[in-house]
Structure 1
Amino acid sequence: MPMQQLLRMGRGAVIPLDTKESDELWILAAGHPIARGEITIQGDRLCITVTEPADVHEFNAAA
């Protein structure tokens, strides 16, 4: 999701995810991988926990 779209979203907006809580995901900045992470739930909040730095070669192999 582009940052501009994210910034236009208001309180209570929903961002659909096609992943489960236990799935690993890529954290991207300007389309480039910067870290790996996982979705966690803390109370009533959905969080992304950074688990490791990104490996660009692994990201490119997955694409």
Structure 2
Amino acid sequence: MSNAFEPLPPDQAGGTRSAPAPVAGLEAVYDVPVQVSAVLGRATLQVSQLLKLGRGAVVELDRKLGEAVDIYVNNRLVARGEVVMVEDNRLGVTMTEIVKLDRAG
């Protein structure tokens, strides 16, 4: 199974695209909860190293600053994005690429 990434085009104002209009017939699934995760990076540690971590410890991840983050919905990779600052010093993720999965095979 191969993954291909397609960037999302910006809207007329140069920002990100707005949410699509509701699709008729899909109202039944609008209230179904899904788990959305943004993976900033990964690290492998031994249990002994993990137990030594304390407040303020730094764990080096396998991603570089400015590199895209993976966005998962229900543990399935669906997109890539960038970390952004939201009001009140909170972080968010802007979706920049949709992952298209090859269903053949």
Q: Please classify the TM superposition score into its range, dividing by the shorter chain length.
A: 0.3 to 0.5
Structure with larger Rg: 2
Higher relative contact order (CA 8 A, sep 6+): 2
More strand by share: 1
- TM-score after normalising by structure 2: 0.31
